Structure formats: C-alpha cells, structure tokens
Amino acid sequence: MKIALFDTKSYDKSHFEEANKDFGFDIIYLEPALNERTAILARGADVVCPFVNCTVNKAVIDTLKAEGVKLIALRSAGYNNTDYRYALSQGIPVVRVPAYSPHAVAEHSFALLLALVRKLTHAYVRTREFNFSLSGLVGIDLFGKTMGIVGTGKIGRAAIDIAKGFGMKVLAYDPYPREIEGVEYTDLDTLLSASDVVSLYCPLTKDNKHLIGRKTLSDMKDSAYLINTSRGGLIDSEALLEALKERKIAGAALDVYEEEAGIFYTDQSDTGIEDDTLARLISMPNVIITSHQGYLTKEALMAISNTTLNNIKEFADGKELTNQVK
C-alpha cells in the first residue's frame, strides 16, 4: 500500500516513521494540505491521509478517484471537512482516529484556563522585561467554582475528572447523557447561566454550528470564561468579539478558530493575517489563542500514527473497518 500523507509537519513524519516500523507501508510525505489544487499529488497512491484542516469535498474526491485512490484515512477525530457520504458513493471509504489521547486535549484546556484566569501570559511578559509589579494580575480561585462541560465524550469526561480535582462543581450538557458520579446534567441554557467556566468538548455538526453565538453568550455570567479546544465553528467568532468588547464575559481561551484553515499550522509572522476578527481577538488582553495544539503530545502523536496505519492495514487485509465514518 502506497500512502500519500498530506499537510505533513516534522513531528508527523518522525512519529509515522516510528510507527511504520511495525507495518512497512510506503509513505510519501507531502507538505501541502489536501485541497482541490493539490489532490493531483496523490497520483499513484492507494491511500490519502489528510489532516484536520484539509478539504476533502466532491471535487477533491473526484480527482482522488481518477488517480486511483481507494481509501481516505483521516488522521484526526473530526471529519466535518470531509464529504464522507459522497466518498462512499464513489466506492472510497473514509476512516478516522476517533480517540488518541483525550487527556492531551483536556489537559490543554485547563492549561489555557489557568493561564487565562491567573494572567500568566501577562506575568511572563512582565518578568521578561524585569517588571515584577503585581498590579493588574489579580486572578480567581477555581476551587468552588462551577464548570460547565458541553459534551461528555472521552475528552469531556477527562476534563470532568480534572475539574473535580480542582474542587469545582460540574454541570454537563450532552444530547446523550451518561451516569457520571458527581456530575449534574442540565439543559444548555441553565448550564450557561450557572457556570463560571464553560468549556466545549463536542464535534462540529450541521446542527451545532455556532452553538455559542449572540444569544448563548448573553446567557452567560459577565464574570464567566469560555474555553474551546474542540472545533472553531462551535463559536460565532464575531459574536464572541462583540461580547468581549461589551464585557459580557470575562475572557476566552481558544485552541481552535472557525476560519483557521490556511492560518493555523503556518508561520504568518512576516506577513501578518488578513482575518480582522482573529487579529482583534489575539490583541485583546483577556483572550488567549493557541494554534490547534491541544492534541500535540508525544503520546497522542504515536496513538494517531498507530491507529491511522492500523486502519489502513484493516483495509489492505480486507477486514471490517473498525473506525469507518458512516
């Protein structure tokens, strides 16, 4: 099996090379993201392996099929940028990595939260300039606060465990509630109005795009913080910017952004960015943004590599595809 790995970074290659010692596939590492312009680069490959911000629409799938591609192996959990229904109609199944390290993403969300509420980024910059003043650095305790968890899949449940460790009360919202000790399920409106911190841990679907918008932001406490390490499209970015400017919420920490494709994972330091909304969010003192790095741990990268290659092996061996998107 010949695999074309798109949107390859150095850390992708090193971990896939290590995992591939047990599989022996022929992997071609390509730097461009998969899209309508680059799909032709898959010529001669049996499998394409796109990452989270690659575009796998009808036009891309038609090109892949014409070039002989037989499988789309996503190396991510999310598949909102992949027209998997059309791909399957063309005889090309789509597989994904449903879980790699839920702890990596959950821990990153709390790293963002702590940096936000304790103003660590401001403190870091000050001490680098030998300014040891504490003025303006007053934070809050997490102990005793209410954490609103939206989505209680594997990552959400890992976040619940961390929140409990901080001594927080946990409210949860999920269309498919579970029995979790010490967690009170409620409707979204109640969760938003009662929580001191709202953190999102759910996939992006056509039904929940802009789950957090003007109405839902207005339901939150003025003193509340919003954390998103899931998918950027869950939040209406312009509505968030407006709410922050009007001090409708206390702050936000984002590892994802709805228009991140073409910006995140790239170096824009010389050119700047044309996205005015993102630029204004980055400039705000009560906002922290990281570049979709919640998954970026050694453990998660190895899990992604191994699961992706095992998905491909199942296909090559003619077995049932455990992680097929259906």
Predicted pLDDT of residue 78: 86
In the predicted model, is pLDDT for residue 322 greater than 90? yes
SS3 71: strand
Taking each helix axis as running N to C, give the angle between helix 276-283 and helix 237-245, from 0 to 180 degrees, rounded to the nearest 10.
40
| Residue 238: CB atoms within 10 Å | 16
Catalytic residue among 107, 292, 299, 314: 292
260 counts as catalytic: yes
Distance, in Å, from the CA atom of 309 to the CA atom of 41, rounded to the nearest integer, reads: 20
Report yes or no: 85 and 63 within 8 Å, Cβ to Cβ. Answer: no
| Residues 101-149 pLDDT 10s | 899 999 999 999 999 999 999 999 999 999 999 999 999 999 999 999 9
274 counts as catalytic: no
Catalytic residue among 96, 157, 231, 258: 231
In the predicted model, is pLDDT for residue 63 greater than 90? yes
Of all residues in the chain, the percent with pLDDT exceeding 90 is 95
Strand 71-73 and strand 94-95: pairing? parallel
Helices and strands (H and E) in the chain: how many = 11, 12
Report yes or no: 34 and 83 within 8 Å, Cβ to Cβ. Answer: no
Distance, in Å, from the CA atom of 309 to the CA atom of 1, rounded to the nearest integer, reads: 11
Mean pLDDT, residues 179-207? 96
Looking at domain 2-100+297-316, its CATH superfamily turns out to be: NAD(P)-binding Rossmann-like Domain (3.40.50.720)
Distance, in Å, from the CA atom of 278 to the CA atom of 204, rounded to the nearest integer, reads: 19
In the predicted model, is pLDDT for residue 191 greater than 90? yes
The answer as to CATH 3.40.50.720 being correct for domain 102-289 is yes
SS3 38: coil
Q: Please tell me if the domain spanning 2-100+297-316 has the same topology as the one spanning 102-289.
A: yes
Q: Tell me the two tokens of residue 5.
A: 């790995």
Mean pLDDT, residues 180-198? 97
Predicted pLDDT of residue 80: 87
Catalytic residue among 15, 108, 157, 260: 260
128 counts as catalytic: no
**Domain residue spans of the chain:** 2-100+297-316, 102-289
Report yes or no: 100 and 117 within 8 Å, Cβ to Cβ. Answer: no
Distance, in Å, from the CA atom of 39 to the CA atom of 29, rounded to the nearest integer, reads: 14
